[in-house]
Amino acid sequence: DGGITQSPKYLFRKEGQNVTLSCEQNLNHDAMYWYRQDPGQGLRLIYYSQIVNDFQKGDIAEGYSVSREKKESFPLTVTSAQKNPTAFYLCASSMDGQVLNSPLHFGNGTRLTVT
């Protein structure tokens, strides 16, 4: 079955450490996205990528970094510069970069806890 795989489901880190969240898709989608979700909040866009080797900052990119070396992979690194990293992180993809016309497909998320 095609879909988006995020791993691990739960991740624990000490403050000051960088951590990388994995996102892999086998939908052959061009565009991929990272969202952050906090309790009682909507989703906020961190980074997105419309094509390989290109990505753009979203609304809350500070303290995060991404890469898009392969079409199917879009890892997110939460750096020590991110002041409040504990959150639920969702990866998504869409067929093309026209997010308004091609629906988002979401992974099942990674819950990151930093202590």
Partner 1 sequence: AQSVTQPDIHITVSEGASLELRCNYSYGATPYLFWYVQSPGQGLQLLLKYFSGDTLVQGIKGFEAEFKRSQSSFNLRKPSVHWSDAAEYFCAVGAYKRGSQGNLIFGKGTKLSVKP
Which region among 13-21, 51-59, 68-76, 77-85 touches partner 1 (by CB under 8 A)?
Answer: 51-59
- Gyration radius (Cα) of the chain, Å: 13
For 48, residues 6+ apart whose C-beta sits below 8 A from its C-beta are 31, 32, 33, 34, 55, 56, 58
Does the footprint of partner 1 cover residue 56 (CB under 8 A)? yes
Does the footprint of partner 1 cover residue 75 (CB under 8 A)? no
Q: Taking the complex as a whole, how short is the minimal distance between the CB of residue 84 and partner 1, in angstroms?
A: 17
Does the footprint of partner 1 cover residue 92 (CB under 8 A)? yes
Q: Quote the DSSP letter at residue 34.
A: E
The full 3-state SS of 64-92, as one line of letters, equals EEECCCECCECCEEECCCCCCCCEEEEEE
| Among positions 20, 41, 53, 113, the unique one binding partner 1 when judged by CB under 8 A | 41
For partner 1, the binding residues (CB under 8 A) are 4, 9, 31, 40-45, 50, 56, 58-59, 90, 92, 96-101, 103-104, 106-109, 111
